[in-house]
Amino acid sequence: MKILSIFATLLITASVYGQPRLVPNKVTLKSGKTFTLRLAEDFEIIPAAEGLKRVRFFAKAPDGRIFVTDMYNLTDNKRGTVYILDGWDAVKGKFSKVIPYMTNLHNPNSVQFYRDADGQDWLYLAETEKLTRRKFTHGETKPTDTRPQTLATFPDYGLSYKYGGWHLTRTISFSPDGKLYVSVGSSCNACVEKEKIRASIISMNPDGTDQREFARGLRNAVGLRAIGKFVFATNQGSDHLGLQKPDETFYALKQGADYGWPYCHSS
């Protein structure tokens, strides 16, 4: 009994000391506006870049600069931008330059870089209706390759997000073996899709060949990352089932698996 009591005390102590103490952290923007977030002690939040609209994903270019996608707002629009964050100051924790690299894009969600066997660097961009790549030159502030290759096309319509649809974002990730993975969300909240590519993740070679379904039944896998031999994905479950349902899921995907949407969730 004494051993059990000591064990329970150790578990409680471990759980208490294992959780960082969160304290309010006030953030002040250039405009003078402020907001407060709770943060672990001894940490602070510094606005590294300002003036952006609806930032999505980051990628580090081969030349060390940070490229970031910006979808402008929640609407289906062609006002998106890819920005370059440059001039990093490690002391201040800020970028001195925010450079528009590409503009007038259709809901740009994800950007990635890849170096092929010949040593050529490529920039990959996922917009709602297409996945493109173009040759990337170190240090460029505008694309020097003005003839991008379209590797894949996707459905570009969806039920309004107010009703649990929309899902106009496409996320891309490269695995260490050079496979490219793309997530394509559903067009609706819960329905049988017309296009097989909906609510799935596909894989392909870096040049767009050998396209095939990798996993399906994923209503909207916005978070996607290939690490080692695993492909990880988040999934946004169906809306309007209550405040706590369904669970938002995080998967280490299995090739060929069906994760249940629209027939079930949290599978």
pLDDT tens digit sequence for 186-222: 988 888 988 999 999 999 999 999 999 999 999 999 9
Q: Is the pLDDT of residue 12 over 60?
A: no
Tokens of 102: 């590409």
Q: Is the pLDDT of residue 243 over 90?
A: no
Question: Residue 122: which CATH number?
Answer: 2.120.10.30
258 assigned to some structural domain: no
Is residue 262 reached through a cis peptide bond, with omega within 30 degrees of 0 on the bond before it? yes
Residues 41 and 118 in one domain: no
- 3-class SS of residue 211: coil
Q: What is the pLDDT of residue 83?
A: 99
Residues 157 and 70 in one domain: yes
Which of the residue ranges 45-59, 132-146, 162-176 would you say has the lowest mean pLDDT? 162-176
Residues 136 and 29 in one domain: no
If one counts the domains in the chain, the total is 2
Residues 185 and 129 in one domain: yes
Residues 163 and 44 in one domain: no
Q: What is the pLDDT of residue 240?
A: 73
User: Whole domain around residue 131: which residue ranges?
Assistant: 49-252
Residues 145 and 73 in one domain: yes
Tokens of 184: 């394509």
Query: What are the pLDDT digits (tens) for 72-111?
Result: 998 899 999 999 999 999 999 999 999 999 999 999 999 9
Q: Three-class SS string for 29-68?
A: CCCCCEEEEEEECCCCCCCCCCCCCCEEEEEECCCCCEEE
Q: Is the pLDDT of residue 11 over 70?
A: no
Residues 41 and 130 in one domain: no
Q: Are 80 and 71 in contact (CB under 8 A)?
A: yes
Residues 156 and 87 in one domain: yes
Residue 165 Cα to chain centre, angstroms: 18
pLDDT-derived band at 10, boundaries 50, 70, 90: very low
- For 32-45, what is the mean pLDDT? 92
Residues 107 and 32 in one domain: no
